[in-house]
């Protein structure tokens, strides 16, 4: 059946080539100039202000002291929703960025954006220092970030006729996938992932900006408004047909578009006519990448193609797995050429149940290499000797429980390529939330239906290896 098409009211939803601006939506000033400093949220403009409630021409003036702490130094950028300033934090003697909303704009987007970024700690997100209100204008104080947007880097490469090497693309995509994983684990989807919203900062740091369109997963699918930037929007976003709990797949589709753009210099679906761009996203097959870039590894081509699947259910299920796939492209397993057997570690303090779980593994993958551990400490020893592809982990164990095992493994990166499946009869809601924050996405309860559910998960993990 052909996908249901829904043409949005473009006059209502489109402004400056983008749909429903939720934050600043203008071009970054000097976007193509190497070395120009850019804040954690930036768009172009200027400012001169009187000592009065902030106006449409200016919000804060140079030299103004905000709440007795932040001295405004200069305007970094300006857009339809507000302005961004560089300021000096007098208390802590550091540079900060202050993002302020125009007085006539509903500032709830600004507060929501700040709350989302403050809730997730990751080097790929700007640090949020404070929220406030000054002269009837809402503002947020953020980390001052210097660098160029990924969009600026793309434009520079295009001007020089120098495409990104595939290893450069992989490194950039890993950085993006990692920061996406951090917000997705927190139950948030960005919904406006594109090169202009990604900053390449010093120290190989990739920073995700502009959360004005971010949405909680449980709220996805409740509205009918079309939101996003046309060249990077998934088919279901264009149709306003996003299922609850699947909004993160919009970001993965956009990641596929960015990957394609980095490799070829332009998005796969792009037209001067927005309606035509939408039609291409919904109905046009993904072009072949290899003819234009025969040097790109087949594994990377396959990752990009899967991310660009029209059906969200056919995409890679989560950003953690995308990051792992990309790392395999960058640093292939030294045993890959010898077809190392699929390795499974069963961790459970009940020996009888261990044997049952091993039996289910044999059903799913008959030639799997299976090891077992009776407690968390033994599991860590086994991982240290040879990290498995899959770990079936009980949560309730003596001495060291399953959650502690996960925290140690994720914190030390000792088994980043290992998929951990929680197999437990005692997982509480807060346990599941914590495990999700650690990147665990598979949960199989002990009890009725264990065999079918577990075999299905094992086969899925094995198939994606």
**pLDDT tens for each residue of 331-368:** 765 544 446 789 999 999 999 999 999 999 999 999 99
Same domain, 161 and 299: yes
C-beta of residue 406 within 8 angstroms of C-beta of residue 442: no
Once rounded to an integer, what is the mean pLDDT over residues 26-45? 31
Among 124, 143, 162, the domain-final residue is 143
Same domain, 102 and 221: no
Q: Is the pLDDT of residue 300 over 90?
A: yes
CA dist 451 and 458 (Å) reads 11
C-beta of residue 212 within 8 angstroms of C-beta of residue 81: yes
CATH number at residue 208: 1.10.510.10
Answer whether residue 3 is part of any domain: no
- Among 79-83, 140-144, 271-275, 392-396, the minimum mean pLDDT is found in 79-83
Answer whether residue 382 is part of any domain: yes
Answer whether residue 17 is part of any domain: no
Answer whether residue 10 is part of any domain: no
Same domain, 434 and 286: no
**Into how many domains does the chain fold?**
3
Give the per-residue pLDDT at 357.
94
Same domain, 433 and 393: yes
Give the per-residue pLDDT at 54.
60
Give the per-residue pLDDT at 18.
40
Answer whether residue 2 is part of any domain: no
CA dist 298 and 433 (Å) reads 36
Q: Is the pLDDT of residue 189 over 90?
A: yes
Residue 272 vs residue 160, higher pLDDT = 272
Same domain, 326 and 429: no
Same domain, 220 and 304: yes
Among 300, 330, 360, the domain-final residue is 330
Q: Is the pLDDT of residue 53 over 90?
A: no
Give the per-residue pLDDT at 425.
83
Q: Is the pLDDT of residue 301 over 90?
A: yes
- Confidence grade of residue 17 (pLDDT, cut at 50, 70, 90): very low
pTM over 0.85: no
Same domain, 106 and 186: no
Answer whether residue 106 is part of any domain: yes
Give the per-residue pLDDT at 2.
39
Answer whether residue 64 is part of any domain: yes
Same domain, 164 and 287: yes
Strands (E), 211-317: 215-216
Give the per-residue pLDDT at 409.
82
**Which residues lie below 8 Å from residue 19, measured CB to CB, with a gap of 6+?**
8, 13, 226, 227, 228, 229, 230, 233
Same domain, 324 and 366: no
Answer whether residue 4 is part of any domain: no
Any idea which residue has 């000096």 for tokens? 88
C-beta of residue 422 within 8 angstroms of C-beta of residue 364: no
At 198, give phi and psi (nearest 5°): -125, 125
Range of the domain at 81: 22-143
């Amino acid at each position: 059946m052909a996908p249901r098409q829904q043409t949005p009211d473009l006059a209502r939803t489109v402004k400056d080539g983008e749909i429903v601006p939720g934050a600043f939506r203008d071009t970054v000033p000097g976007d193509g100039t190497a070395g120009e400093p850019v804040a954690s949220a930036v768009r172009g403009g200027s400012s001169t202000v009187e000592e009065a409630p902030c106006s449409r021409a200016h919000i804060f003036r140079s030299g103004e002291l905000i709440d007795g702490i932040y001295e405004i130094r200069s305007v970094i950028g300006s857009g339809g929703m507000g302005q961004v300033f560089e300021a000096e934090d007098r208390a802590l003697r550091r540079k900060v960025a202050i993002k302020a909303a125009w007085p006539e704009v509903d500032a709830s987007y600004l507060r929501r954006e700040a709350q989302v970024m403050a809730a997730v700690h990751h080097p790929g997100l700007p640090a949020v220092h404070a929220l406030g209100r000054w002269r009837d204008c809402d503002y947020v104080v953020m980390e001052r970030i210097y660098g160029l947007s990924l969009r600026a880097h793309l434009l520079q490469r295009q001007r020089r006729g120098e495409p990104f090497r595939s290893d450069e693309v992989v490194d950039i995509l890993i950085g993006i996938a990692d920061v996406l994983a951090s917000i997705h684990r927190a139950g948030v989807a960005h919904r406006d992932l594109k090169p202009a919203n990604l900053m390449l900062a010093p120290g190989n740091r990739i920073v995700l900006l502009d959360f004005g369109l971010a949405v909680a997963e449980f709220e996805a699918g409740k509205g009918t408004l079309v939101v996003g930037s046309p060249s990077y929007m998934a088919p279901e976003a264009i149709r306003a047909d996003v299922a609850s709990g699947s909004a993160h797949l919009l970001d993965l589709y956009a990641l596929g578009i960015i990957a394609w753009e980095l490799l070829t210099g332009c998005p796969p679906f792009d037209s001067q006519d927005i309606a035509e761009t939408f039609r291409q996203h919904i109905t046009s097959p993904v072009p072949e990448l290899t003819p234009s870039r025969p040097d790109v590894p087949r594994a990377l081509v396959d990752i990009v193609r899967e991310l660009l699947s029209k059906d969200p259910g056919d995409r890679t299920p989560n950003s953690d797995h995308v990051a792992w796939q990309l790392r395999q492209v960058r640093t292939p397993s030294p045993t890959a050429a010898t077809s190392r057997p699929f390795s499974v570690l069963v961790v459970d303090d009940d020996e009888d149940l261990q044997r049952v779980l091993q039996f289910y593994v044999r059903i799913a993958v008959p030639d799997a290499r299976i090891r077992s551990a009776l407690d968390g400490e033994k599991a860590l020893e086994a991982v240290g000797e040879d990290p498995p592809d899959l770990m079936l982990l009980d949560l309730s164990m003596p001495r060291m429980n399953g959650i502690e095992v996960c925290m140690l493994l994720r914190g030390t990166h000792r088994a980043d390529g290992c998929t951990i499946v929680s197999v437990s009869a005692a997982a509480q809601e807060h346990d599941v939330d914590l495990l999700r924050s650690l990147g665990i996405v598979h949960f199989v309860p002990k009890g009725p239906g264990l065999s079918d559910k577990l075999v299905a998960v094992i086969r899925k993990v094995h198939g994606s290896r």
